[in-house]
């Protein structure tokens, strides 16, 4: 975007930018930020960085937590939600020194290393990905967790449970009946268009947006492909735009995988293909569903490590309330063409060499995108290097509805973890592929597993209302 610091300063002057906002990602995948007046942002800022407490980001112990972030000027975009004209950019985390050095546990640094590792192996020079962003927009959300009282309450005007309210204009969306439904039932149409225009203006190319299956306001925005780290940056921007546009509209958006009982959950399917010297590597007209051996080995790696990957791609306890049969979410570790019940789905409509790809369907947007996309790449590269053939490994193809297989047949298909605890067990036992090339620091994985186990244990201690319904009178 900018040639140098002078170009940056000139842009700020011409566009009357008053504030510069710096956004950094913490370990869990949330953006944090710090803002300074534009006049205070100098060449020194981009060379020496700005100090912050790394312990509050989950990166470092309290006794050794002083770090700096250095802004990446190439990520600068206008913040559409700030009342004061503000230019926003992402910061990279560094350990203080002379000179500063990249902090190896910084998720953005890991994504950079994963791409460098891919290039160093000579397999490919670019992994292009296209995530699909599913989310709900509600008109109300409240929740309370106390020793003597626990509840949550959600409301959406178009939900079928509001059909008996007075006054009422009707046009309520049936349970699991929202897919591609038209206005006036599509109550979020204009808001989604606004979100997409904000994204387009900030360099995020949108393929389309539409209503999803969930009746009480489930939607999807699908974007054009981009390189891995670039798309991780854009993933954070997309979530920021969606949440803030809804908030500004007096509503609330969530990427929580399973916010409503009995309705479809929200995933983040990730379409993947590799390129080298601009040429696609996943196409072979004679291969299964038009896929090359390289693509099949990549799939083999993903399926071989699927359970361990879940600890990173599906890192919330709520994630596993989505990964259940009957809601178009995958539960079986296998691949197939046009089959939404499989972990790996090969779109039948993508038939040209440059479009030939597959999607992995289990991830959701509670993940840290830098870690999740990097882990997917590392698993795929491991599959290519080891020539893991998914067919020989028994992963398919399963071109049938996996939910309707007999119990005997279902037993032959390995299942995804049923809980975050199971996924963490898998990651503890299968993580060497992430350490290749020093991409994922072992210390980071240890911190991740420890933090997530604490999360699981804390949640397991809390009585939930359904337990009173089941057990109170026993």
Active site residues: 53, 132, 134, 212, 220, 269, 340, 359, 361
Place of tokens 């407490």: 53
Q: How far apart are CA 351 and CA 401, in angstroms?
A: 22
Q: How far apart are CA 471 and CA 474, in angstroms?
A: 5
Question: For 231, phi and psi rounded to 5 degrees?
Answer: -75, -30
Q: How far apart are CA 375 and CA 433, in angstroms?
A: 9
**DSSP character for 350?**
-
**Judging by DSSP bridges, how do beta strands 279-280 and 86-95 pair with one another?**
unpaired
Q: How far apart are CA 229 and CA 392, in angstroms?
A: 32
384: which 2 tokens?
Answer: 């290519």
SS3 string of 123-141? Answer: CCCEEEEEEEEEEEEECEE
Cis peptide before 259 (omega within 30 of 0): no
Question: For 267, phi and psi rounded to 5 degrees?
Answer: -110, -175
User: Using an 8 Å Cβ cutoff, are 89 and 73 in contact?
Assistant: yes
Residues sharing a CB contact under 8 Å with residue 362, sequence separation 6 or more, in sequence order = 267, 306, 310, 313, 314, 323, 329, 330, 343, 416
227: which 2 tokens?
Answer: 């390189």
357: which 2 tokens?
Answer: 């790809």
228: which 2 tokens?
Answer: 């891995």
Q: How far apart are CA 117 and CA 28, in angstroms?
A: 24
Q: How far apart are CA 360 and CA 395, in angstroms?
A: 14
What's the alpha-carbon Rg for the chain, to the nearest Å?
Answer: 23
414: which 2 tokens?
Answer: 């390995």
User: Using an 8 Å Cβ cutoff, are 27 and 55 in contact?
Assistant: no
């Amino acid at each position: 975007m900018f040639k140098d610091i002078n170009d940056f300063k000139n842009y700020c002057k011409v566009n009357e930018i008053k504030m510069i906002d710096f956004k950094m990602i913490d370990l869990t995948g949330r953006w944090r930020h710090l803002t300074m007046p534009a006049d205070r942002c100098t060449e020194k800022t981009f060379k020496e960085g700005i100090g912050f407490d790394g312990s509050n980001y989950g990166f470092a112990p309290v006794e050794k937590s002083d770090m700096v972030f250095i802004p990446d000027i190439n990520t600068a975009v206008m913040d559409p939600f700030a009342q004061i004209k503000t230019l926003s950019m992402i910061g990279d985390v560094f350990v203080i020194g002379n000179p500063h050095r990249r902090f190896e546990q910084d998720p953005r640094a890991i994504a950079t290393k994963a791409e460098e590792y891919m290039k160093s192996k000579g397999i490919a020079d670019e992994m292009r990905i296209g995530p699909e962003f599913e989310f709900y927009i509600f008109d109300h959300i409240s929740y309370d967790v106390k020793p003597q009282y626990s509840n949550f309450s959600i409301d959406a005007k178009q939900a079928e449970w509001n059909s008996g309210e007075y006054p009422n204009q009707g046009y309520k969306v049936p349970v699991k009946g929202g897919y591609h439904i038209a206005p006036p039932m599509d109550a979020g149409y204009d808001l989604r268009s606004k979100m997409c225009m904000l994204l387009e203006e900030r360099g995020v190319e949108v393929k389309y947006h539409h209503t999803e299956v969930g009746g009480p306001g489930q939607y999807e925005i699908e974007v054009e492909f981009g390189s891995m780290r670039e798309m991780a940056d854009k993933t954070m921007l997309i979530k920021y735009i969606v949440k803030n546009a809804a908030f500004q509209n007096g509503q609330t958006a969530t990427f929580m995988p399973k916010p409503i009982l009995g309705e479809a959950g929200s995933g983040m399917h990730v379409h993947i293909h590799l390129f080298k010297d601009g040429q696609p590597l996943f196409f072979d007209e004679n291969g299964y569903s038009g896929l090359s051996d390289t693509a099949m080995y990549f799939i083999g790696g993903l399926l071989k490590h699927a359970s361990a990957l879940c600890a990173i791609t599906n890192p919330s306890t709520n994630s596993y309330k989505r990964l259940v049969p009957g809601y178009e979410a995958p539960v079986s570790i296998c691949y197939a063409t046009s089959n939404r019940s499989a972990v790996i789905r090969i779109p039948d409509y993508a038939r040209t060499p440059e479009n030939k790809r597959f999607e992995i369907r289990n991830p959701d947007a509670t993940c840290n995108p830098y870690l999740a996309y990097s882990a997917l790449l590392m698993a795929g590269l491991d599959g290519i290097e080891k020539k893991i053939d998914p067919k020989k490994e028994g992963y398919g193809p399963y071109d049938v509805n996996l939910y309707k297989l007999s119990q005997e047949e279902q037993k032959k298909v390995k299942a995804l973890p049923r809980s975050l605890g199971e996924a963490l067990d898998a990651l503890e036992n299968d993580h060497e592929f992430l350490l290749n090339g020093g991409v994922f620091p072992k210390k980071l994985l240890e911190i991740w597993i420890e933090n997530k186990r604490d999360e699981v244990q804390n949640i397991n201690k809390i009585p939930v209302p359904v337990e009173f319904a089941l057990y109170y009178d026993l």
